[in-house]
Structure 1
Amino acid sequence: MKHKRLLIFFSTALTLVIVIYAVTMLYNIKPAAPTFVDTPIVEHKPSIELDSEEPIVIDEEIYENSYTEQQPEEDIIQQVEDRLAQLTLEEKIGQLLIVGIEDRASTVSTDTRRLIAEQGIGNIILFKRNIDSEQQLTTFIHELKKLPSNDIPLWVTIDQEGGKVNRLPEQFPSAAELGELNDTAITQANGDLIGKALADLSIDMNFSPVLDINSNPNNPVIGSRAFGATADSVTTHSTAMLEGLGKHVLTVGKHFPGHGDTTIDSHIELPVIDKSWDELEQLELLPFRTAIANDIDAIMVGHLLVPKLDADYPASLSKTIISYYLRKVLQFDGLIITDDLIMGGITEQYELSEAAVKAIQAGNTMLIIGHKPKQQQLVRQRLIEAVEQGEIDEALIDERVRLVLSMKLNMQAYLQ
């Protein structure tokens, strides 16, 4: 029996080595060191080896203070309430916004310092425009993490899908390529490699995986970003991706309730999906149901008009779709995040600041405003005014901030 167990052990180990080698050879991905025993949760500390004569000195205290080992639930609840009580209304709003910045150097710009240290913005999204090299990005994020003045960790987020949506200097395969290989071990290994690369950079959240089904060949925006054209392919491979990715960073499934069967790009204008809830349940919602069952951390809601669910508002601004269907019907209790509000699907229909108010009223936890600093400021100020004027109950803001704080203060509990 002992020899049989050893044989199984080494067979499993050999299989894992082959999988990692296959991913590396096929896509030129830098492999993580394989381990054949249970490993502890990866801490968010930079560990990328850089080709530089001058090593980057990392202030370990910053990272130790940001995320600690999983703590008892009652301790976290008390910490959340203590932090919440200390926040001003402006800082509460700041915790619900994910904003893009213009920086591309290793040092943080004056504008970004003000945004975080003075205006209380609690979350940053990085785009390709912010990334020059691994060395620059490592130093830049390290400096970003020093800036919050309210003792709440700053989240750094990113869209790192692979394929045509690949923000890191290192290229990773697209979802479609992984789906075509149809080997879940390779998909999971790829997720693990992406997750570790992000965690080593101290990036906290990845807007991935794409849960859309590429069921419409005329779709101009999803295409290779999807794992396939069938619910089975997308569900199977997105689950494998989550298993690898979710060990290292927070995961976000997108674009609810499904952007696959559209012929319009929501970056440009508002797509219309002429399906009932029952019809969506037969296809589009299957990967979302599975991801929710597998404890995905967040769902991104798309700018998609679904008239049979809500004839007046796109999904990202719809209380019916978010608070009823996503929260109550699908019983999702994680973060709900809008797609970038500065997209044609919203800005062609609404004034941005008013859309932000509707997004919070609809049930979103967090809003992405990835571009246009002046518009970001207008959104922040309009949300503050909406609370002060009674359009949004501050208790509702507190509820959303509690969820964000609970994840920030005990992030290890959310990593799979």
Structure 2
Amino acid sequence: MNAEDYTPEQMAGQRLMVGFDGTTFNAELKFLIEDLKVGGIILFARNIESPAQVAELCRSVQVCANGCGQPPLFIAVDQEGGLVARLKRPFTEFPGNSAMTGVEDADHFAAVTAAELKSVGINMNMAPVLDVAPLGFGSVMEGRAFGHDPAWVARLGCHVIKGLQAGGIMAVAKHFPGIGRTLLDSHLALPMVDLDPTDIETVDLPPFVAAVEASVSGVMLSHILYRKIDPKWPASLSVRIARDLLRSRMGFGGLVLTDDLDMGAVNRHFGISEIIQRIVLADIDIALICHKSPKIVQAYENLVKVMDADLQAVLAPTSSLRRILMKKKDL
């Protein structure tokens, strides 16, 4: 199907990536794919038992999507290694980014991880983490970052990106524009950063600039309020950060995703209708909702209204729908 053939309902669904309960294809997944027409799902430990089970789950959801006339689903997982790795043994377990001593480690991680994800039908990895964690700062990302030097983070991160994508797995760099200098966990509350834009450009942005140059498939936005860039909206809802900085200034034409909209940083401060309005305004492609909740249906309904009201913008050559469909052609 071409973008012009999509209904507002299909367009809305393609903008959603959602989590679910269970380890097998079930009524919940059937509803998400057939009724809400979601464009992607994300797997967590609660969905994973064994390689064979994951492979059957991924096969089943793709069969369902195909059977109801939908394009292939993005099937994502957080497989960073170390502290955040949803796939445990018998999948290969790595010590994580902070333990890498050179590009050989990054290449090995990417090659093995890509092969294992592809073997079970997963096509997107929410990795690598490109946050720069300063020494002695107590960063919330200290155990997950490659290190404290932007050039080092950029170098190893790009090796991971290129290795994953060479193996057929879309890489998603996170958490733009960088959360290495935050102490508060955005799962719980809304962290605020008072850094000058020039400081962010010197320390936090270089790994993401390198990722864009390496043709990373996706970039995930953080739920951090960078008050000297946008005093009102966190990056995940910010026109100034997502559209003006990432898209316009840095020239990123791939997929832009929010972090999980269930997290306290946004969930406690903004309603779903307001969130969806901001996502569309900021030229963000995919809203990520990682847990079963009424919020998924509410997000879908709000997106349908937007798609229906502004069909011309939705079908523009640079629109989110077209970016999503271009990525899905490779699947």
Q: With structure 2 as the length reference, what TM-score do the two structures score?
A: 0.93
Alpha carbon RMSD of aligned pairs, Å? 1.5
* Corresponding position of 1:282: 202
For residues 338 and 363 of structure 1, what CA distance do their matches in structure 2 show?
11
**Per-residue deviation, 1:387:** 3.9
Q: How does 1:1-400 map to 2 (within 5 A)?
A: 82-104=1-23, 107-148=24-65, 149-169=68-88, 170=91, 171-178=93-100, 182-215=101-134, 217-219=136-138, 221-248=140-167, 249-388=169-308, 390=309, 393-398=310-315, 399-400=319-320
For residues 323 and 183 of structure 1, what CA distance do their matches in structure 2 show?
33
Contact 2:129 2:145 in 1 (8 A): yes
Q: Name the CA shift for 1:219/1:83 in 2 (closer, same or farther; >3 Å).
A: farther
Secondary structure of 1:150's match? coil
Secondary structure of 2:257's match? strand
The structure number with the bigger radius of gyration is 1
* Greater share of strand: 2
**Per-residue deviation, 1:95:** 0.7
Identity %: 31
Aligned length: 322
For residues 25 and 297 of structure 2, what CA distance do their matches in structure 1 show?
19
For residues 12 and 173 of structure 2, what CA distance do their matches in structure 1 show?
23
For residues 210 and 251 of structure 2, what CA distance do their matches in structure 1 show?
12
Q: With structure 1 as the length reference, what TM-score do the two structures score?
A: 0.75
Q: Name the CA shift for 1:164/1:305 in 2 (closer, same or farther; >3 Å).
A: same
Q: Per-residue CA shift, 1:225-283, capped at 9, x if unaligned?
A: 10011212211211221222121200110000100000111111111111222111110
Secondary structure of 1:161's match? strand
Contact 1:93 1:397 in 2 (8 A): no
Structure 1 stretches of 5 or more lacking a match? 1-81, 412-416
For residues 189 and 138 of structure 2, what CA distance do their matches in structure 1 show?
13
**Per-residue deviation, 1:220:** 5.6
Q: Per-residue CA shift, 1:176-207, capped at 9, x if unaligned?
A: 011xxx22112111111011111111111111
* Corresponding position of 1:401: 321
For residues 135 and 303 of structure 2, what CA distance do their matches in structure 1 show?
37
